[in-house]
Amino acid sequence: MSNEAPVGNPNEHLESLSPAPVWHFFRLLCNTPRPSHQEEAILAKIQQFAEQRGFDTSRDEGGNLLVKRPATPGYEDVPVVTLQSHVDMVSQADVEHDFSRDPILTEVRDGWLWAKGTTLGADNGIGVAGALAVLADDELVHGPLEALFTVEEETSMGGASRLASDWLQGRYLLNMDTEERGEVCIGCAGGVHVRINEHFVEHELDAQWSFLTLSVNGLNGGHSGVEINQQKGSANQLLPRTLLSLLDAHEEGSVAIASYQGGEMSNAITRSARAVIAVKNADVAALSAHVAELEATFKKELAEVDAAVAVTVGSDAPRQATLSAEDSARFIRLLGALPYGVERYSDEVPGVVETSNNIGVVQLEGGHLNLDAMVRSLRDSAALALAARIEGLARLGGFSAESTSFYPGWNPIPHSPLLTRFCDIHTQVEGHAPEVKVIHAGLECGIIGARYPHLEMISFGPTIKGPHSPSERVELDAVEAFWTLLRRTIESLAKEPLPA
């Protein structure tokens, strides 16, 4: 299957937006499919662009790409600045869309750029476009630059975790993955995944059983780090809650699970989930009434954040093999017991989530269960402790669980010279100092900083709303400000080097 966009001129309107250099490269990103683990097509285009301009390029074993641009003549001896962004994007859609083949189609609405029914990929495509625009800027005065383009950030921080040692030469790193104008980030949560892979023996049921489809839809979803504090509904919490309620409302062994599909990304709050279940014929009418009552309850509980939540029962599911009654109950009770959402708020950073869990992926098909929960915390010890607790819950139910893909948080340095310089530039550009933030979302800075502890790092970017969902959009004016800040910061570090 080709990774090339279809013929034609998708997203041609982006060429008319300002700042033109950033939107030119963002168009390239939109037109080139780049879901996590399928980044080769966009990396090849970036590498071709860089080599055509005579820049050195290299790849490490993690699949990351590094582009080096020599300094403006006369500025060769100033410290190297590293620009860093990830090229992959989250794949979520409300329309039919093949993220491995189709371009992201965009439109401007009320000062914001949206995608048409899919995630936009401004997270972190705007950062990538900004780095490419810097590499293409012949008027910019700069010292030696290197642009690091990482892979697999959205699934496991895989590219940053496999980053080559002794590869980067920068003293300062500008990460461009923060999503709020007027803020600069100096610290973030780390994380760990808890995964369950289990295989069940399936059974055929007789004619006394009816097969139904039970679905939860209408949720907004979103980023499990940025928006977990908004207490949005997760379909991987609400559908198990529904199943558990049905299980407890009827005699033991009266509900059997055939399949379950909920979520595709561990770092996205699950917008919809669907299960095929079997119940005794005599229980069908009571089940439908019970589900209607639960839907009304969910609408009341989520009225402020997910008022459109819907729980539906369909009677057209085909007959199929199911888990045993005992295994069905174990599966339902496990999902019902898993923690979801905010576990604890930070004492040191008021208002910021310290620790949380997102039940990102639950897939049961053909008797095989794949579950991926993502734990985040500003404290590595707290992340590992919650992961161990989830493992313990799973083992109580007879499941094998494993904590994997741990990555460290980014510990803030509140008074670094780089931060002070950026705050001064921000005041000049925006008329006020930025709000200095520590965020619950994961950034690659923690992993990169562990490998390159001498790096001074900050993260900034334009305003992006609804990341990891089809409501993702980026504010046009904020991109203009982001581009100005990026250029001014690079020029300032060249013309007025910070003290060593």
Is residue 318 within 8 Å of residue 211, measured between CB atoms? Answer: yes
Could you confirm whether 153 is annotated as catalytic? yes
Q: Residues 6 or more apart from 62 whose CB is under 8 A from it?
A: 150, 151, 158, 159, 160, 161, 162, 163, 164
Is residue 15 within 8 Å of residue 27, measured between CB atoms? Answer: yes
Could you confirm whether 110 is annotated as catalytic? no
Judged by DSSP in three states, 226 sits in coil
Q: Using CA atoms of 302, 303, 304, 307 in order, give the dihedral in degrees to the nearest 10.
A: 90
Is residue 199 within 8 Å of residue 367, measured between CB atoms? Answer: yes
Query: Annotated catalytic residue: which of 88, 123, 391, 475?
Result: 88
DSSP of 109-178: ETTEEEESSB---HHHHHHHHHHHHHHH-SS---S-EEEEEE--HHHH-HHHHTPPTT----SEEEE---
Is residue 335 within 8 Å of residue 321, measured between CB atoms? Answer: no
Query: Annotated catalytic residue: which of 39, 123, 146, 153?
Result: 153
Picking from 188, 182, 194, 165, the residue whose alpha carbon sits closest to that of residue 374 is 194
Q: What Å distances lie between residue 198 and 86, 277, 369, 400, CA to CA?
A: 32, 19, 5, 7
Burial 271-299 (b: 16+ CB within 10 A, else e): bbbbbbbbbbeebeeebeebbeebbeebb
CA gap 86, 131 in Å, rounded: 11
Calculate Rg over the CA atoms of the chain. Answer: 24
Task: Lay out the sheet containing 435-439: strands in order across.
Answer: 56-59, 65-69, 145-150, 81-86, 172-175, 456-459, 183-188, 435-439
Residues that are catalytic: 88, 153
